[in-house]
Amino acid sequence: MSIPKKWVGRGVALVTGGSAIATVLTVLAIMGIIVYGGIGHLSWDFIFGSPEKGMTEGGIYPAIMGTFFLVLLMSLVGVPVGTVTAIYLNEYVGQTSKVGRSIRFAVNTLAGIPSIVFGLFGLGFFISFMGGGIDKAFNGGELLWGQPNILWASLTMALLTLPVVIVSVEEAIKSVPRELREGSLALGATRLETIWKVVLPQSMTGILTGAILAISRGAGEVAPILFTGAAYFLPELPDALTDQFMELGYHIYIMSTQSPDVEATKPIQFATTLVLLLLTFTLNFSAIFLRWHLRRRAIR
Amino acid sequence: MTENIKIRAGKLNLQYGQKHALRDIDLDIEKNRVTALIGPSGCGKSTFLRCLNRMNDLIDSARIQGRVEIDGTDIYGKDVDPVLLRRKVGMIFQKSNPFPKSIYENIAYGPRIHGVKDKRTLDQIVEKSLRGAALWDEVKDDLAKSGLALSGGQQQRLCIARAIAVDPEVLLMDEPASALDPIATAKIEELIWQLKENYTIVIVTHSMHQASRVSDTTAFFYMGEMVETGPTQKIFTSPSQKRTEDYITGRFG
């Protein structure tokens, strides 16, 4: 009547194992297709050239540099804000206090908001409200800040990646032994001196990990910059905060949907995707390495 | 007699949430003497010690009532800054906790925080403190080495040097030798004898031998109460309380 237990066991093993293999195969397939399609087009000219002939030829240098400036500005804002938040959460409010729990809830919620919503928020808050406000107040209504640019895009991206930074830094700060803090306080150091001279130096790796994870997350996102600063085609690099910029992920999206000849841009699409993947992988692996390094030190 | 009293606790009570950790503690601690606090685990001796430099302030759930006077001033008074108090009342912890910095920087940490910038002065403080902690001869050529590279006993003496570098008047020691081997322990105990010339020392210890070796006065804590205090000699030979005698003779704890 009932199925023998042995068969149930085998069935479960088959289903779970099959799912695991499917996951691995998916990753391999994506990687394989991208590497196969893109590696042939990868060259120094491609990396250091500008797009030409409706993006059917040339390189992606402006997009690489645009991505670089974007994540740089984003980190300059997001990492300090995230670090300070983590310090506040860990050093100034108790683990179980109402304030601490509300902030953590907010951080977790922020992490769960779809990236397109960040994009829309950036458009509404930074560009219309802040940029428009600045223009009205200081430029006599002339449009300068109230339009998409690299500053607003970076700030939007910083908001998106804030939870990543907060979580990484908090983990690092938590791993600083209580004895070290007490040792410092017992010498007559204030809480601020203790944080600045003992806790933060010990958390440097964690802060760095947070920054790298944020960058790798940020470099892969397109939605937040869609309305806030990314440009379709700009042969020149941005040289002011009010400039727009090209970006790798957005460039791929443009080529595959907006290009006059989508078929002809295919090799460039593959190669661009490959560059983007290599970039984020490198960043992720360095974060993993740093974290491993941090854990090892924490145990010792 | 009174002018010899450095620290005076009066009706000191401490509660962690629902737990009443210290009950009506009255205890006088004499200047330039070593006072040992003994008692079974959880009896409140470490908690009491941490009241003396307001380390318990860091624990949100701790509520303190009563008085602790140092040189006649209530350290829980409104105008007392715990940060300044801790300069005057140093602390050595159970687990040695050197900063992950060089030996030199470990000692210079306190003086730097208190505004000493001159390199020559710092050098002098470092040497004087290391000598004071009987560590100078062992490390004078390796001041740039990490404090964590030292042996356990050396690390604890480094922490003592770090504590005396800010020129305190009182040193609180929370089982300073509990993680050390007998030789390192002997060195620390010898050091405590030397230190009492300049400092008032309060030491929490689990080892009754240690208490009898290093202290002038002993106070026995039990279940959050201070049962008995007196000259160490008397406490260990003819205690007046039954509970003290039971503990000393090893009947419990």
Query: B26-76, pLDDT tens digit by residue?
Result: 999 999 999 999 998 888 999 999 999 999 888 878 889 999 999 989 999
- Nearest C-alpha of chain B: how many angstroms from A177? 9
- Nearest C-alpha of chain B: how many angstroms from A187? 6
- Name which of A179, A189, A202 is nearest B113 (Cβ-Cβ): A189
Which residues from B are below 8 Å from A188, CB to CB?
83-87, 110, 113-114, 166
Do the Cβ atoms of B17 and A96 come closer than 8 Å? no
- Name which of B58, B95, B166 is nearest A179 (Cβ-Cβ): B95
Q: Sign of the CA dihedral A245, A251, A253, A257?
A: positive
User: How much of chain B exceeds pLDDT 90, in percent?
Assistant: 62
Which residues of chain A approach chain B closer than 8 Å at the C-beta? 94, 177, 179-180, 182-190, 193, 197-198, 202
pLDDT reported for residue A45: 83
User: How much of chain A exceeds pLDDT 70, in percent?
Assistant: 96
Confidence of residue B252 (pLDDT cuts 50, 70, 90): low
Residue in A90, A176, A187 to test binding to B, most B beta-carbons within 10 Å: A187
Identify the residue whose tokens are 């403080």.
Answer: B125
Average pLDDT over residues A231-239: 78
Which residues from A are below 8 Å from B84, CB to CB?
188
Which residues from B are below 8 Å from A197, CB to CB?
109, 113
Report how far apart the first and last C-alpha atoms of chain A are (Å, whole number).
Answer: 58
Is it the case that residue A142 has pLDDT exceeding 90? no
A10 and A74 inside one domain: no
Rg (CA), chain A: 24
With a CB cutoff of 8 Å and minimum separation 6, the contacts of A215 are A71, A74, A75, A161, A283
Which residues from B are below 8 Å from A186, CB to CB?
53, 55, 86, 90-91, 93, 163
Average pLDDT over residues B175-195: 89
A135 and A151 inside one domain: yes
DSSP string, A190-236: -HHHHIIIIIHHHHHHHHHHHHHHHHHHHHT--HHHHTTTB-S--SS
pLDDT reported for residue B14: 92
Q: How far apart are CA B46 and CA B62, in angstroms?
A: 14
- Name which of B91, B95, B98 is nearest A186 (Cβ-Cβ): B91
Residue in B83, B159, B172 to test binding to A, most A beta-carbons within 10 Å: B83
pLDDT, tens digit, 9 for 90 and up, residues B130-153: 999 989 999 999 999 999 999 999
Which residues from A are below 8 Å from B114, CB to CB?
188
pLDDT, tens digit, 9 for 90 and up, residues B154-171: 999 999 999 999 999 999
Contact B90 A189 (CB under 8 A): no
A69 and A29 inside one domain: no
Q: How far apart are CA A180 and CA A191, in angstroms?
A: 12
Confidence of residue B251 (pLDDT cuts 50, 70, 90): low
Output the domain CATH number for residue B32.
3.40.50.300
Contact A94 B99 (CB under 8 A): no
The residue length of chain A stands at 300
Domain that holds residue A7: 1-41
Size of interface A-B (CB pairs under 8 A): 59
pLDDT reported for residue A298: 54
- Nearest C-alpha of chain B: how many angstroms from A96? 11
With a CB cutoff of 8 Å and minimum separation 6, the contacts of A155 are A74, A77, A122, A126
Please count the other Cβ atoms lying within 10 Å of the Cβ belonging to residue A37: 16
pLDDT reported for residue A297: 63
Which residues from A are below 8 Å from B60, CB to CB?
94
Among chain A residues, the shortest Cα distance to B85 is held by A188
Is it the case that residue A260 has pLDDT exceeding 80? no
Question: Is there a domain that residue B227 lies in?
Answer: yes
A212 and A97 inside one domain: yes
Q: How far apart are CA B179 and CA A232, in angstroms?
A: 66
Provide the token pair at B196: 């009492």
Contact B97 A177 (CB under 8 A): yes
Question: Is there a domain that residue B164 lies in?
Answer: no
Amino acid at B251: R
Contact A183 B162 (CB under 8 A): yes
Contact A183 B95 (CB under 8 A): no
- Nearest C-alpha of chain A: how many angstroms from B87? 5
A5 and A81 inside one domain: no
Is it the case that residue B204 has pLDDT exceeding 90? yes
pLDDT reported for residue B1: 47
Which residues from B are below 8 Å from A177, CB to CB?
97
Domain that holds residue B181: 2-97+170-248
Residue in B88, B109, B146 to test binding to A, most A beta-carbons within 10 Å: B109
A13 and A69 inside one domain: no
Contact A183 B60 (CB under 8 A): no
pLDDT reported for residue A300: 45
- Nearest C-alpha of chain A: how many angstroms from B163? 6
**How many structural domains comprise chain A?**
2
Question: Is there a domain that residue B151 lies in?
Answer: no
Confidence of residue A220 (pLDDT cuts 50, 70, 90): confident
**How many structural domains comprise chain B?**
1
A109 and A121 inside one domain: yes
Question: Is there a domain that residue B159 lies in?
Answer: no
Contact B109 A177 (CB under 8 A): no
pLDDT, tens digit, 9 for 90 and up, residues A245-254: 888 888 888 8
Is it the case that residue A292 has pLDDT exceeding 90? no
Among chain A residues, the shortest Cα distance to B50 is held by A186
**How many CA atoms does the CB half-sphere of A200 hold within 13 Å?**
13
Confidence of residue B3 (pLDDT cuts 50, 70, 90): low
Output the domain CATH number for residue A135.
1.10.3720.10
CA distances from residue B231 to A52, B35, B212, B218, B235 in whole angstroms, order as listed: 93, 9, 10, 6, 6
CA distances from residue B13 to A40, A124, A128, B207 in whole angstroms, order as listed: 78, 57, 60, 25
Rg (CA), chain B: 18
Q: How far apart are CA B172 and CA B246, in angstroms?
A: 27
pLDDT, tens digit, 9 for 90 and up, residues A177-203: 889 999 999 999 999 999 999 999 888
Predicted complex ipTM exceeds 0.85: yes
List the strands of the sheet with B5-16, edge to edge: B19-30, B5-16, B62-70, B73-74
Sort B222 into a burial class: Cβ within 10 Å, 0-12 / 13-18 / 19+: buried
A33 and A158 inside one domain: no
Q: Sign of the CA dihedral B73, B75, B81, B84?
A: positive
Contact A179 B109 (CB under 8 A): no
